[in-house]
Structures are given as C-alpha cells and as structure tokens.
Structure 1
Amino acid sequence: MPIPSPFPTIDIPQKDIHSFLFEREDRPFPEDQVVYIDGNTKRQLTYADVRDQARTFGIGLKSQWGWQRGDVLAVYSTNQIDTPPVVWGTLWASGVITTASPSYGVEELSFQLKDSRAKALVTLVDLLPIAAQAAADAGIPKDRIIVLGDKTTKEYRHWKDIIDPSTSVKWRRVKALNPEKELAFLVYSSGTTGLPKGVMLSHKNIVANLLQFTPTDPLDWTEDRLVAFLPFFHIYGLTCIMHHAILRGLPTVVMDRFDLNKFCQHIQDYKVTFAYLVPPVILLLAKHPDVAKYDFSSLKMVNSGAAPLTRELVESVWARLKVSVKQGYGLSETSPVTHSMRWSQWKSHVGSVGPLVPNMTAKYVNEKGVEVPAGETGELWMAGPNIMMGYLNNPTATANAITSDGFFKTGDIGYQDGDGNFYITDRLKELIKYKGFQVPPAELEGLLLGHEKVDDCAVTGVYSPEMASEVPRAYIVLVAGVRRAKDTELELIRYVEDRVAHHKRLRGGVRFLDEIPKSISGKVLRRVLRDMAKGEGQGEAAKL
C-alpha cells in the first residue's frame, strides 16, 4: 500500500497564486511589512509595494501589449528584488512565467524562448548582448525586451515603464478559471537526450506546495529573517524563498549572486535566523577560514536541499558554528518540496530528507514497477497536489514520468525507516546533479564528439568532496595519432567551458580510455564508468 504523510491533511483552496498571496483575509502581518531587501543597495520593498507594483505592471502588460491569458513572459536575470512584482504582475494579467538561468548562452536561451513560445523577455542590462540575440532568434521583437535592475539603457525600456497611459480605462484582473489546470510557471529541467523539458506547474501546484512545506519550518514574521542567494529562476529559490517570504511576511535579504563574505555579513548584520542552502555552501561553513570572522549566533536552523548531504558536513557545521542543519527533498516536477526534516530530529536522523509533507503519498517500486514493502529499497514514486501537470510539448515524456493513477516516478532510489523518515541512496536517472542543477550527459557528449581530436566519449558524474557536489567527468577515446597529454585534457575542458552554461563545465576533468564501455545494443555503461571513477582522483577541474 502507498505510504501516506504522517501529517494531517490540509485544505488546498481553489485559488490562483495572486489571489492566494494578495487577496487574503488571514494575513497576520501589516501591509507595510518589509519583505525584500536588496543586499547591495539596501533598497526595500514592503508587502504593499510588491502587491501594488505587480498590479501596475499587470495592467501595463494588458494595455500596452494586449497581454492575453496564457501569454508567456521569460525572465532571464540574476536575483533582483524587482523580480517578484514582475512575476506576480504577469500572473495578475493571466500570463505565464518561464525562468531561465542567467548563465545561459544564446543557443540555450533561444531554445527555451522558442519552446515556451515566450512573447516577451525581461533581463538585465549586462545580459542584453545574449538576451537580444536569443530573442531575435526566437522571433521576439526588440520592443518586447525590457530590463530589470538599477542599470538602465536608452535602447530598451525599463519594466516600470510598462504602464497604462490612460486614467480613464478601468482594468480588472481576470482570475484563473481552473487553478488546477491553468499554467503558472514553466521551469526547465534537463533530460538525458540533452534537450531541456518544460515542467508545467499550475497555480494549484504552487499554492499547494506552499501550504505543504511551510508548517515544517516554524517561522514568525515578527522575529525571523531569511537570506536569498538561491536563484529565483530555480524552483528551490522560486518557491521556498520568493513565494515563501511574501506568504509569511519574512524579511529577506536578496543577493544577486553568491559571495561567501557577503553572505556571512548579511547573516551577521540582519540577524538572519533561517537559510535555505545547498551542500557546497554547507561545506564552506564547515571549512572556509573566512567564516570564523562572522557572528552566526542568530541562525536557528538551515535547510539543505538540491543534493545529498553527508553526516560529516552536518556534524562539522554544528561543531564549528553550533548551527543546526536539516535536509529536505524535492524536484522541479513536484513544485518542489516533498520531504522536510522536522527541526527536532535533525541530529537523530542525519542523512534523512525527513517525512513526506502533508497531502502526499509515496511508494517504492522494483525494476519491474512492482511495489515493495516499506523499509525495502526501491525507486521512489509520489502522488499529491504539487505534482506537475506534465512536460510542455512532450506527451511521451509525460506519460513515461506520471502513471495513470497520478504517481510521479522520481528516478531516485531510497527507503523509509521505522520512524517515517525517507532516505535517498542512489539515482536511476543518468542526469548529473551539480549543486542542484541538472547536467545532461548526452549534451556534453554531443559537444565533445564535435571536437576534431575526439573519436568517442562518455560523460558521467563523480562526487567531489572539495565541492560537496557531483561534477561532470568526460571519458575520451582520442582520434588515432593524438597524444594523451595534459595539454589535450585542458584543451577539451576549455572547449566545453566556452560553449556551455557555468554549471555544465567538466569540473571532474577528463580521462582517456582505449574504448568506452558499452552494452551489446550500444548503450554506454555508465555504472562501469562510475565504478571506475571511484578509484580515480578528481583531476583537473574548470574554475568555479
């Protein structure tokens, strides 16, 4: 039988995201509560600022651009405190948001713009060279590119200039007709084919997930504060920080990118009490000498997600800083949170991602798809109101991922202990997970095969203790006559580095082989490569 959540079932209102956040009768904090604080400029936005600016932008989209239900706005930017009003203004206008990594090059961004059928693009002045070219490739006109941030340019309008010039027209918001079926976000998740898939998240998916995971983190707007360096384009930052902060009125220091000393300084200066982190940052807290310069006494707890965390790191952070570290689990396809460790159990269940959040059920299945008893190892399947609608323009992938009775196949292997806590032990999927970002091996393999010195290749993930993350490593069969030399290895690393997003670089280095291990059908035997990697060093890594 499927495993239920140990928590009581909660009511999920039939509301769209904007109604849920901004038309509330149960809001415990005042309208002038500061929610977002710019970590660089100290500029602030209150709850009322965000609500009012979102409405103004939404009206502008409808009056200036004739925005229709389902029209897609792409956000290609680092974290900005103006991102929330742009996002919720688009939802006010019955639109859809797709978020893209600011590390994307022209081809990667262009693909997402085309696949999502984006009608407009918002970006930063510094990203305009890439953004403008990708938009042109995708057929987005120049006057539909607008900029965020404090930097401006005469060539492109600022997002605040998208306003209704008329005072006579009364614009009213059209609410989602069916929050369960109406698309709100398109976040992109890489596949083993190398082409990212658009994960379709409905209004209900996000509303449900906010109600599912927030009770697991007992925070109070009167005393708790967050810090936000996790990118808002990633589902972890989008739901757990950007949406979570406005829902609960939590003052949140927004960082445009991660910088260890700034991060530590913000914790000290703003008396940050809770932080959503990833294992590489936990590693820095445990070992980096600069951390000793700062006061972390305000931190009650930190949550680590996006990748597994070792017991050694959890214990090292506690020994050094007396900061508690718990884990959670989720995926883009689950909006994302499905598990969250109880605060009281972080020390007794290190390594667990915690119990299922409310309104979810799970089961473990064997290789034949047959359910195994609780406690036995199997692939984790889950069902609940936070499971995605499916993959955009990809019914085959959707059918392969979601069963007829609504269970999402995670591709992750694990088990449940006697206390109801879940453990993730391995991954069926071939995707490499670098600091929470998915790296499709096939994409890197296709790129390497285009190099004149490469005869055959395979890419797999290897764990790097130094980075506390899985990193991509390439196994290369060189063309006859090419020497196996350090210069060749570095040449191939740089070749990839120049052509992919930051998180896809060959940080695990390059290894040369006589032959790539393959099955009779020609499929790369990645498990053989992973076993081989266990006996090898990390090798030359691309710069962080």
Structure 2
Amino acid sequence: MPTKSPYPDIDIPDVDLWGFIFERKNRPFPDSQVVFRDVHKPDTRVYTFADVRKAAITFGTGLRSEWDWAKNEVLALYTPNDIDVPAIIYGTLWAGGIVTPANPAYSAEELAFQLKDAEAKALVTTVAYLDTALKAAAKCGIPTNRVLVLGEKDEQRRVKHWTQIVNLSRSSYYRRRKANPDKDLAFLVYSSGTTGLPKGVMLSHRNMVSVVLQNEGGGCYVYGRDKYLAILPFYHIYALTTIVHQMLHRGFEAVVMPAFEMKTFLKAIQEHRITMVYVAPPVIVRLARDPEAEKYDLSSLLNITSGAAPLTGELVHAIHKKFGIKITQAYGLSETSPTTHIQPWDEWLTALGSVGKLVPNMTAKYISEDGTEAAPGQPGELWLSGPNVFKGYWKNPTATAASITEDGYFKTGDVGFADDQHNFYITDRLKELIKYKGFQVAPAELEGKLLAHPNVADVAVIGVMDTVNHTEVPRAYVVAAADGAKTSEAGEEIVEWLSQQVAHHKRLRGGVVFVDEIPKSASGKILRRILKERAKKEGVKAKL
C-alpha cells in the first residue's frame, strides 16, 4: 500500500505565487521587516518586505510598458546570489512571465542551450558575467537591449540596469496579471544533467505555493528569533524555495552570500547571529575538518539542514560534538519543487541517515525491479505523488510520460526504503548503482565510508567497465586532503583501507584516481556522467 505522510493534510489556497506572498490578509509581520541583506554591504544593501514588493511592481511594469511583455514569456537569470534577485523574480511574475534561472558557471554554449530551449525573451546577469551572457544571447537571437544587469551598473553602458526599464509616465496604466495557479508556470528550472543534457522542469504557481506551505510544519521556526545565511545558489530550486520564497512568506531575514567562501561564511554566522543554514554536504565536511571553524563563535547556530546527498551518522555526530549544532536532513528534487521529506528536529539522533518523513499532502511508494510494490522495509525505486510534483518536462512529452505515471506518481529514480516509523532512507540513484558480477554496489555507501579516511577531502564513486572480465567495478575519484599525498601508493592505501570495511563485492577494484575537484551540480549532487566520460578515456585494469 502507498505510504501517506504522517502529518495531517494542509489547505493549499487557490492563488498564484504573487497573491500568496503579497496579497494575503494574515501576514504576521510588518512591511518594514528586513528579508534580504547583502553580506558584504549589510548596512547599505538591504531589502524590506515593502522594498521587494515595490521594486517588483516597478520592474514588472517596466517589462510591460517598455518591452510589451506577453503572458507566459520567459525571462532568464544568469547570476550568482544577489539581493536584487527576488525583486526581479517577482516582477516577472507580476507581469505574467516565467523565470528560468541558469547556473553562472555555464559557458556561453551551455547558457545558450538553456536560453534557446526555454525560448527566453530576455536575460538578466551581472557585470562580471556580462561578456558570456552577451555571447550566449547573440547565439539565441536575444537582442542586446533585452540584456540587463543587476547589482552594480555597467559603466561601459553596453546594457541597462534592471531598474532602468520603466516608463513612469505610463506605469499607472498597467495592472498585475493574475496566473492560473495550476496551469501557468512560475519557473522553468533545468535538471542537473547527471545522466545527460539538462531538461526543463515545469513548475506551476500551485507547485510553489504548495511546497512553501509543506515546508512550514514542525513549529521549529520562530519569527523574531531566526535569521538565515543564504549560501545555496538562487539559481537552484533548493534555494528558490527555502530562501527566496520562504523569507518573504515567513518574514525571516536572510543574509545573502554571492557564493560560498569559508571565512565569510563563518564570520557572517558570528556577526549576524545566524540561527539557520541550508547547505549541501560538502559544507558539512568543511565544518568538520577545517580548523578555521574553531576560531569563530558559532553558538547562535541552532540547526543546519542538509540536502542533495545522504550524510553519515559519523559526520552528524562529529559536528554536534565539535560545535553543539544539530544537523537534520531533507530530501527533494527539482521535479518536486523540491522538498518531499524533512527530518524532524527532535529526531535528528534517533533516525541517523534518514532523509526524514514525508511532508504533508504527499504519498509515496517503493517499486521493486519486477514492477510490484516493495514490502515495508524492502528497497525499491521511490515514487512520489503530491501537489508539489511538477507538470512535466518542457517540450519533452516522451520524458514526461516515462517519468510520471497515469495516476500522478513521479518516478524519482532514487533507490531506498522506509522503516516502520515513517522515516525514509535513500541509498542511491537507480541509474548509478554499480553491478559487479550481479551484485549491486551503491556509490553513496562507499562515498560515505571513504570520507572518513584522513586523506579524503571529497570523493565520488562510479562504476567503470572492465572489458576483460565483463563486469562493472567501483572506482573512486578522490580530492586529497590539503596536506595529503596524491601518489599511486597513497591511492593503493585507500583501496586497502576500504577493503577492510566492506564486503568483497564492494571493493575499489577500479582503483583510486586523484582529482582537483569533484564535478557537482548547483545543489551539490555529483555529476557522475562527467566522471564516466573521463573513465572511458582512462580505461580500467581491475583487481579481481
């Protein structure tokens, strides 16, 4: 039988995202509440709730009055985190548009792919990324006068600032375009591309309203006390939900970092008395190992929520022992807006390794390889149903049909199981499981163990094909510790060390390869396809 969330269903209002945030009658905080603060200019670059609303309306009016913005046209964001981003997002929604955020690490070719696929009509970036943005725009036919910058102005005057496209004499003529919550898209986010080209994930206004409310459970967040440090990238759905929308809905303040940098991160927690942080696992590893962290007062930090990949119990215990900070885990995907599971605060120790319990209004089931529903406690592919499940893949009905069942379940491609206390465990990606002579090997399990080795700062495990023995074998790509060796002898030592801790079929028969960094998506997920492409060139001499 499918598993329902242990929490009561909540009412999802039939409103679009703008109406949900800015037009509700029961908002428990004033217009003057600070919601976004720049970490580098905390006194001069600040947005209150009223500031965001005013700037968004002005920008939305500009889109319509200056560019004759049509309903459902797409605006692309190509920028690191900036406190201007929320106003631009909501201004686009006010004008009836759709936002597609892109990774600022993209090359011109990669950005052009997304712009063309999304049929973007305009692009907003920063001065630092303007050259690449203009190249990509040219490839897609987006004219230069439809490229804008946020943050600092372009002193060379190649493009306008985002605040400069409104004709105030005509602004009173326009009114907000309301969206159909279930049918109209708010965001077109692109999948991380772990197994191929990114796909556009269609997220409706109802998807986004639902997930914000589904995240509210537990009563652990306190208005007037909690302050967030925003290090997750705003171009990923993880941050769009937990930071951009949540801060505006709950009236919390977020101190915004353009990108993660360890000293800035630690200093911000200390100086702003940060209580909450959402992170990906690499940040947890840095906290546990970097001696710099011990130089700062992190006592205000009550909780860290980690997503994107499983954490080991050893790592969770290490952080708590060192700093007294609780770490809870959560789970979700771009296709689920993203949150589907959250670990309750009071169960962070009793369900170590769990990604939490289903959020309200969700149903799940595990499907075995034979297509039947797995028995309780038995592993299978996780299927999910709920109001936060996406509408499908953009211009890709074949992929949509392959991913969403007729009765509305999304096939996550993640393998795991649930226990009798409603805790869900994710063991690996279905397509990433390594098959060694018929045995299944989960890369995430080996990665969790390898992170405990003193010479492993970061790691990714993939299956590489041994053509001589006609089987896949596990190989570890390792970022060595700062003072660690990168020799073949050091790699052999890691192989032998792991062999003492795992079953025979889980040994690193593909060896250890030292690399400078592990390729990852914006949310911290390992891009295994890049490593697989590298492995094809390297070949394998397996040890059986």
TM-score by length of 2: 0.82
Map of 1:392-411 to 2, 5 A cutoff?
392-411=394-413
Cα distance, 1:331–1:315 mapped onto 2, change above 3 Å: same
**Cα distance, 1:421 vs structure 2:** 0.6
Distance change >3 Å, CA 192–CA 230, structure 1 → 2: closer
- Which residue of structure 2 aligns with residue 488 of structure 1? none
Look up the SS of the partner of 1:185 in the other structure: strand
CA 1:229–1:27 in 2, change beyond 3 Å: closer, same or farther?
Answer: same
- Offset from partner CA, 1:375-422 (integer Å, 9 cap, x none): 221111010000000000100000000000000001111111111110
1:294 aligns with 2:296: yes
Structure 2 equivalent of residue 246 of structure 1: 248
1:366 paired with 2:356, answer: no
In 1, Cα distance between equivalents of 2:152 and 2:215: 33
Residue 187 (1) aligns with residue 211 (2): no
**Is residue 221–residue 251 contact of structure 1 (8 Å, CA) maintained in 2?**
no
Q: How does 1:312-323 map to 2 (within 5 A)?
A: 312-323=314-325
Q: Percent identity?
A: 50
CA contact (8 A) 2:414 2:429 kept: yes
Displacement of 1:164 after TM fit?
2.2
Deviation at 1:65, TM superposition (A): 0.4
Change (3 A) 1:468 1:247: farther
Describe how 1:99-248 pairs up with structure 2 within 5 A. 99-153=101-155, 154-167=157-170, 169-176=172-179, 178-191=180-193, 194-216=196-218, 218-248=220-250
User: How far is the alpha carbon of 1:171 from its aligned partner?
Assistant: 1.1
1:287 CA displacement: 1.2
Per-residue deviation, 1:152: 2.4
Aligned position for 1:540: 515
Relative to 1, partners in 2 of residues 1:27 and 1:431: Cα closer, same or farther, differing over 3 Å? farther
Preserved contact between residue 124 and residue 148 of structure 2 (Cα < 8 Å): yes
200-209 or 364-373: which moved more?
Answer: 364-373
**Following TM superposition, by how much is the alpha carbon of 1:534 offset from its aligned partner in structure 2, in angstroms?**
6.0
Partner of 2:541: none
State whether residues 73 and 97 of structure 1, in contact with CA within 8 Å, keep that contact through their aligned partners in structure 2: yes
SS in 1 for 2:174: coil
1:91 is displaced (CA, Å) by 0.3
Structure-2 residue corresponding to 1:35:
35
Deviates more, 1:145-154 or 1:299-308: 145-154
* Letter matched to residue 353 of structure 1: V
Code of the residue aligned with 2:143 in structure 1: it is P
Structure 1 318/179 Cα, relative in aligned 2: closer, same or farther at 3 Å? same
Tell me the distance in 1 between the aligned counterparts of 2:355 and 2:415: 13
Cα drift, residue 68 of structure 1: 0.8
Match of 1:277? 279
Which stretch of structure 1 is more off in the superposition, 191-200 or 360-369? Answer: 191-200
> CA separation in 2, counterparts of 1:219 and 1:241?
13
Please say if residues 379 and 413 of structure 1, whose CA atoms lie closer than 8 Å, have aligned partners that are also in contact: yes
The answer to whether the Cα contact below 8 Å between 2:65 and 2:170 also exists between their aligned partners in 1 is: no
Instruction: Write out per-residue CA displacement over residues 58-110 of structure 1, whole angstroms, 9 at most, x where no aligned residue.
Output: 00000000001100000000000000000000000000000000000011100
SS in structure 2 at match of 1:371: coil
Shift in Å, 1:297: 0.8
Amino acid at match of 1:25: K
* Equivalent position of 1:10 in the other structure: 10
Distance 1:468 1:543, change over 3 A: closer
Query: Could you tell me how far 1:531 is from its partner in structure 2?
Result: 5.3
Cα distance change, pair 473–157 in 1 and its aligned pair in 2 (3 A):
farther
Distance apart, 1:429 and its partner CA: 2.6
Runs of 4+ residues deviating >6 angstroms: 471-477
Paired AA for residue 158 in structure 1: H
Structure 1 unaligned spans of 5+: 433-459, 478-492, 494-507, 511-529
> How many residue pairs align between the two structures?
468
Describe the SS at the equivalent of 2:217.
helix
Q: Distance in 1 between matches of 2:509 and 2:53?
A: 52
Q: Give the superposition deviation at 1:374.
A: 2.2
The equivalent of 1:496 in structure 2 is none
Task: Give matches, 1:322-471, under 5 Å.
Answer: 322-430=324-432, 463=447, 465=451, 466-468=456-458, 470=460
Match of 1:438?
none
Helix, strand or coil: the match of 2:514? coil
1:431 deviation in Å?
9.9
Q: Which letter maps to 2:512?
A: G
Matched residue of 2:358: which SS?
coil
Query: What are the within-5 Å matches in structure 2 for residues 502-541 of structure 1?
Result: 533=508, 536-541=511-516
When normalised by structure 1's length, the TM-score is 0.82
Residue of structure 2 in register with 1:22 after alignment: 22
Query: Which of residues 47, 72, 75 in structure 2 aligns to 1:73?
Result: 75
Cα distance between partner residues in 1 of 2:458 and 2:406: 37
- Structure 2 residue ranges without an equivalent (≥5): 435-442, 468-477, 479-485, 489-504, 520-544
Partners of 1:169 and 1:16 in 2: how far apart? 22
Deviation sequence 1:299-330 (CA, Å, 0-9, x none) = 11110101111111100000100100010000
Query: Counterpart of 2:99 in 1: which secondary structure?
Result: strand
Q: CA deviation at 1:467?
A: 4.3
Residues 279, 469 of structure 1: 8 Å contact kept: no
CA distance in 2, matches of 1:116, 1:431: 31
